[in-house]
Structure 1
């Protein structure tokens, strides 16, 4: 049965006008990337930041002090760790009362035992397509791999989500209530960091219609 509380995260925001336009949609989480090598890097606080949407800071192998300072400066509600952060780092951040999303790149050979040390300190996992680079590839991984996911920790699904496969992701959610949220990014952009509002609105329509029909 579809998780009727399935959430939507729109990630890679940086432009104030675009942030405001996306904020008018029923977005649950908005992601801001604090990784200088990303084309969606946020070098300073945008002039407009939503107050009614949970704001997620995305970090890659950043030190704990910088993460905490950024959380406070940008008034973030969650931290997404998208690098090779050790369980001890996640534990430190959790000890500061932060809500944690820990991302992992997935391929057919991924060993689920890798996640076990992170479970006590992680609110959500995020499963993305495995890549040599940090960050999104715009490519989906084989979702059948998730059928063997052995843990109870809920997760965000990322990696190449687009209008052409959002329905497929919703179909997958029918069979796995641990799928907590869809993470939308590059396939909904007109350029890096600028979301196509109509494409996002179309995706929300698909999600809402599917959730209504599943009741």
Structure 2
């Protein structure tokens, strides 16, 4: 997100996390649009999350300080050591993994002590989300060392069944492109309905 009023409107829905993308090649890049004062207006209970791709430790630290971020969501080839350093600097860390088959989960092993959460998404040739539905059946019968965020093409119609269809209960659901009217701009009514439906389950 990056529009001042749209951010404040979503915040009124009391989400647990709000994301701001700091990957310059993303159509949702917030770095040259987002006003740091906007994120400072958000209540502390909302985890203000910077989304990064192969950024350096200093870049993430400086951006987090500027925009009052509490969480770093990493979508590149970031090392476990970088994740640990970010945590040592007071940031909560979400490490994203693109999964095509169950064996792809092996990549999470070296991060089990390095981050707070995993995020599972659909593979794409580009960094970041594809907007395509994630194959939740990949998670059937596995044991994870960290709670996880479920991502990948989640849309409004998934609200009533997604928690039953996913073999393992996710810690959080990451919604994005299917709830937008334009890149980085959320459709408030559909987000509100989704959150209410999920929280009633």
Asked if these proteins are the same fold (TM beyond 0.5), I'd say: yes
Runs of 4+ in 1 over 3 A off after TM superposition: none
> Scaled by the length of structure 1, what TM-score is found?
0.86
- Name the residue aligned to 1:5: none
Q: Give unpaired runs (5+ residues) of structure 2.
A: none
The answer as to whether partners of 1:14 and 1:42 remain within 8 angstroms in 2 is yes
Q: Distance in 1 between matches of 2:199 and 2:89?
A: 36
Aligned partner of 1:193 among 173, 176, 184: 184
CA offsets 1:112-148 (integer angstroms, 9 cap, x no match): 2211111111100000111110111111121000114
Deviation at 1:101, TM superposition (A): 0.3
Mapping of residues 168-207 of structure 1, within 5 Å: 168-172=161-165, 176-177=168-169, 179-207=170-198
Q: How far has the Cα of 1:25 moved from its partner?
A: 0.3
Counterpart in the other structure of 1:30: 18
Distance 1:124 1:203, change over 3 A: same
| RMSD of equivalent CA atoms | 1.5
Matched, 1:163 2:148: no
Alignment of 1:133-144 (within 5 A): 133-144=126-137
Which residue of structure 1 lines up, in the alignment, with residue 83 of structure 2?
Answer: 90
What is the total number of aligned residue pairs between the two structures? Answer: 196
For 2:51 and 2:91, the matched residues in 1 are separated by 13
Task: Find the aligned partners of 1:183 and 1:165 in 2 and give their Cα distance.
Answer: 12
Which deviates more from structure 2 when the two are superposed, residues 182-191 or residues 81-90? 81-90
